[in-house]
Structure 1
Amino acid sequence: MKLSTLALRTVPGAFILNAGIGKLKLDKDSAAGLQEMASTGVPAVKNLPPQKFGKALAYAEISLGAALLTPFVSNRLAGLALGGFSAGMLSMYFRNDAMTQSDGVRPSQDGTALAKDSWLAAIAIALITSKKD
């Protein structure tokens, strides 16, 4: 694996894996808060019980992080998975008026944490379009 590919996969992979592990023991109120935020970008998540949503999110993040960190998972497959994840995150960003300034693009102070997920989208594109190692 090339050093550039290693950097593209290891940093977000470790971050996302850690985030997923941290969500495994979410209490009901914390899961409900995450679900409320997620529903701004993906309205269908409202249909799940909060704790089921929290577990599903935790397992999804663990799976994605592990896929990015596993060398035998192709760059294209890892990039597609990361692209789907970042699309969900960015949909929350763009569909919530409080996250952007009046132009609808630049982040507000509240939106800065989600705006950084644009970097994940860029990493996904780089992985999908990279030549085979």
Structure 2
Amino acid sequence: MAVRRGWRSAARQLPLRLTVGAFFLNSGLSKRGADDATAEQLHQFAAGTYPFLNKLDAQRFVRLLSAGEVAIAAALLLPVVPAAVAGTAVTAFSAGTLGLYLRTPGMRREGSVLPTEQGIPLAKDVWILGIGLSLLAEGLRRRRR
């Protein structure tokens, strides 16, 4: 009976893990060969919200960002990685991008959480947060049984 429940849980997670995993893999791989201008732009944007990132040079920051996204993709795409682990990684990453959305001027309409045109690419990460929290909750629930 427990094996059957495990398969049902894996089947429920599969669409979430495949879609978000593919998204993270594409994003991470696309940053691997970032030129200096792109690296500088990404670094300045992130460091504006998270000042501790100023300690890194732009190319190192983008290499770490790329590696992090590829690692999250692997956690999602490899079925041996528990849902709670994959969910934690996705939740942490999306919380960081939503922090950029909430703290960067011009991303939100004045006095609102609704995005401006410039804020939509970051605001959409709220669905990634929801997926991460769902995986985390399911993984923790299964662990308690």
TMscore range, shorter length: over 0.9
Q: What's the offset of the Cα at 1:7?
A: 1.1
The residue that corresponds to 2:124 in the other structure is 116
The residue that corresponds to 1:48 in the other structure is 56
Among 46, 60, 65, the residue aligned to 1:57: 65
Among 95, 99, 113, the residue aligned to 1:105: 113
Q: What's the offset of the Cα at 1:21?
A: 0.7
Cα distance in 1 for partners of 2:41, 2:76 equals: 27
The residue that corresponds to 1:23 in the other structure is 31
> Which sections of structure 2, spanning at least 5 residues, go unmatched?
1-6
Q: Does the CA-based 8 Å contact 1:90-1:117 persist in structure 2?
A: yes
Q: What's the offset of the Cα at 1:100?
A: 0.2
Secondary structure in 2 matching 1:72: coil
TM-score norm. by structure 1 comes to: 0.94
Q: What's the offset of the Cα at 1:38?
A: 1.2
Q: Does the CA-based 8 Å contact 1:41-1:89 persist in structure 2?
A: no
Cα distance in 2 for partners of 1:86, 1:40 equals: 17
TM-score norm. by structure 2 comes to: 0.87
Cα deviation code 1:74-131 (max 9, x no counterpart) = 0000000001100110000000120000123000000000000001110011001114
The residue that corresponds to 2:142 in the other structure is 132
Secondary structure in 1 matching 2:110: coil
Cα deviation code 1:33-92 (max 9, x no counterpart) = 001111233221121111111111111111111111110100000000001100110000
Q: Is structure 2 residue 22 aligned with structure 1 residue 14?
A: yes
> Which sections of structure 1, spanning at least 5 residues, go unmatched?
none
Q: 36-45 or 81-90: which moved more?
A: 36-45
Q: What's the offset of the Cα at 1:28?
A: 1.1
Which of structure 1's runs of 4+ aligned residues deviate more than 3 A? none
Among 96, 99, 113, the residue aligned to 1:88: 96
Amino acid across the alignment from 2:17: R
Sequence identity of aligned pairs in percent? 35
The root-mean-square deviation of aligned C-alpha atoms, in Å, is: 1.4
Secondary structure in 2 matching 1:66: helix
Q: How many positions carry a matched residue from both structures?
A: 133
Cα distance in 2 for partners of 1:40, 1:127 equals: 30
